[in-house]
């Protein structure tokens, strides 16, 4: 963090929109921050899944069995209108910075 002069990291909370209940098998996008005891906040961007543009590019070739399982979860009809989210993360004890950064980012995205 210090050597790169980083205050806040902006990253995805999942590999796509939120998954359907009890279908997510990989939680590394958010769990790593919990294990490190770093504060984070997930927030909607104001964007939503659109089956007309959120499609897989052919030919689809999964990189692993886990990737194939994740790909199989996507159903354009089910995910239509699902929110696209982001998350902000910072070092320990910087909870206020996380929320302030989230506020700034949300205002920029939604303007």
State pLDDT tens for residues 39-94.
999 999 988 999 888 877 777 788 898 888 888 888 888 889 999 999 999 999 99
CA distances (Å), origin 89, targets 16, 18, 19, 44, 61? 18, 18, 21, 15, 31
Q: What is the pLDDT of residue 105?
A: 95
Backbone angles phi, psi at 67, to 5 degrees: -65, -40
Q: How does residue 25 score in pLDDT terms, banded at 50, 70 and 90?
A: confident
pLDDT confidence of residue 9: 96
Structural domain boundaries, residue 34:
2-110
d(Cα 1, Cα 90) in Å, to the nearest integer? Answer: 9
CA within 13 Å, CB half, 24? 15
Q: Tell me, what's the pLDDT at 66?
A: 83
Structurally, how many domains does the chain consist of? 1
Does this model's pTM top 0.85?
Answer: no
């Amino acid at each position: 963090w210090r050597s790169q002069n980083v205050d806040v990291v902006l990253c995805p909370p999942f590999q796509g929109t939120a998954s359907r209940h009890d279908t997510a098998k990989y939680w590394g996008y958010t769990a790593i921050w919990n294990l490190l005891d770093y504060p984070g906040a997930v927030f909607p961007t104001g964007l939503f899944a659109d089956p007309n543009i959120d499609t897989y590019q052919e030919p689809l070739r999964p990189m692993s069995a886990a990737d194939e399982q994740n790909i199989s979860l996507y159903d354009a009809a089910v995910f239509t209108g699902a929110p696209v989210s982001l998350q902000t993360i910072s070092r320990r004890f910087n909870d206020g910075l996380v929320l302030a950064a989230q506020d700034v980012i949300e205002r920029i995205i939604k303007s």
